[in-house]
């Protein structure tokens, strides 16, 4: 058979059921959700589906008045949609690599831009990092996911996980920071020498400092966020 024929291409790329359950990686950059009830997903992440599925943006008041403020402040970056029904749903985000994590009565913070989907059993809460509101135009919010169930996060290229241990803090660039363990509370610091070296406009003069016992996931890429409206 001609290796460039349409039939060969279909054979090489067609969807295959692997029986992996609720979340299944069709490719390293495409997530299949075997939907039988509902799932939370990032707004705009749907690329295809079959079956009977309807999509609703998360209600602004669904989590109370505090969320109304956060959504108005952060814009669309942390917007979630609820996909309800029965069928197969395919999710992706700008070709980023997808990582599936099974939380077992655990908590993890994920940058609002890097959370792709999670099971209904996971509790979520949008957290605004007020301390940096005036410093950075992006990366101001993250989503705390807690409970038992599956979550899918995305990274540009291959992620690296750094261990944080007592007495050995880890400092990261906020725009390259994807997620961190639920028991860590990062502080923001300014590196004056960095600021002088890179120029006043550089976001790299602001860094996230993690202290305690846990982990931080970073990516080899600095996300450029939309400029916040003043």
Domain membership of residue 82 (yes or no) is yes
Q: How far apart are CA 49 and CA 81, in angstroms?
A: 15
Residue 96 belongs to a domain with what CATH number? 3.60.160.10
Instruction: Per residue of the chain (230 residues), give pLDDT as tens.
Output: 688 888 998 888 888 887 779 999 999 999 999 999 999 999 999 999 999 999 998 765 455 545 544 454 444 446 899 999 999 999 999 999 999 999 999 999 999 889 999 999 999 998 877 666 555 544 467 899 999 999 999 999 999 999 999 999 999 998 899 999 999 999 988 776 665 555 555 445 778 999 999 999 999 998 875 443 33
Pairing of strands 115-118, 214-218: unpaired
Count of domains for the chain = 1
Q: How far apart are CA 225 and CA 220, in angstroms?
A: 16
Instruction: Identify the domain containing residue 97 by its residue range.
Output: 21-218
Triad 40, 109, 207: Cα angle to 5°? 135
Q: How far apart are CA 58 and CA 62, in angstroms?
A: 7
């Amino acid at each position: 058979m001609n290796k460039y024929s349409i039939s060969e291409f279909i054979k090489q790329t067609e969807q295959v059921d692997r029986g992996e359950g609720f979340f299944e990686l069709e490719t390293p950059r495409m997530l299949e959700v075997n939907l039988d009830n509902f799932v939370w997903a990032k707004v705009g992440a749907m690329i295809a589906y079959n079956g009977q599925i309807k999509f609703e943006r998360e209600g602004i008041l669904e989590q109370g008045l505090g969320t109304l403020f956060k959504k108005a402040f952060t814009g669309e970056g942390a917007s979630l949609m609820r996909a309800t029904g029965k069928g197969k749903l395919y999710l992706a985000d700008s070709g980023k690599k997808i990582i599936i994590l099974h939380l077992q009565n655990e908590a993890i913070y994920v940058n609002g831009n890097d959370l792709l989907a999670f099971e209904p059993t996971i509790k979520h809460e949008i957290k605004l990092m007020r301390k940096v509101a005036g410093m950075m135009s992006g990366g101001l919010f993250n989503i705390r996911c807690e409970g038992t169930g599956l979550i899918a996060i995305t990274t540009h290229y291959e992620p690296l996980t750094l261990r944080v241990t007592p007495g050995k803090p880890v400092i990261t660039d906020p725009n390259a920071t994807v997620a961190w363990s639920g028991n860590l509370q990062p502080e923001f610091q300014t590196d004056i020498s960095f600021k002088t070296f890179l120029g006043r406009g550089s976001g790299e003069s602001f860094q996230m400092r993690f202290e305690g016992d846990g982990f931080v996931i970073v990516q080899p890429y600095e996300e450029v966020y939309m400029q916040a409206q003043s």
